[in-house]
Amino acid sequence: MVREYPPLLIALTICALVTVLAGAYAFLANGAAPPPGEPGPPPVPAATPVATGTPVHIASRTFSITVTPSSSTTRPGDTVRHTLMVHPEDGFSAPIQVRVSATALGGVYREERDLGTVAAPYPPLTYEAVTPDLPPFISTATVDAVVTASGGGTVRTERVQLVIRR
């Protein structure tokens, strides 16, 4: 006899899994822009010395993040492994806080999760998760997540997507 689970429970389980995966991705992902509503880092000004008139660029300590794979397709019960990397630039060494925000099933499910703080030398972070089953009568579900890493006045984001198919 086949055991049935309530569709909402299955949807929430899928969203939770995707959120955690997205958070891990965001931790090491390379984001191009801050999330809506949050200000990005200030632009790096160029100074011009009076004596020569030659532009001088002031170095700014920053970082980037990457998540691999940034997109994957899997079946219920399969294990998904994601690797997150932080890439410090110009001597950046501040602690970095990582958060993940995920949505699925047309926004019916939303979850935000704090994945903690990482410190230099920023070792690779590997995260493995078992893909949950899908609700009855649903053959495919897509979980969209945004991983946000912030530290030292810099905010970086990375988008991660998990497609679950029967």
Which domains does the chain carry? 7-36+57-165 (2.60.40.3880)
Q: How many CB atoms lie within 10 A of CB 67?
A: 28
Residue 25: per-residue pLDDT: 54
In terms of phi and psi (left: phi > 0; alpha: psi -120 to 50; beta: otherwise), the region of 129 is: beta
Residues 124/28, Cβ–Cβ less than 8 Å: yes
Segments of the chain scoring below 50 in pLDDT: 24, 28, 30-32, 49
Residue 53: per-residue pLDDT: 62
Residue 22: per-residue pLDDT: 55
pLDDT tens, residue by residue, 90-126: 899 999 998 888 787 787 767 787 877 889 999 877 7
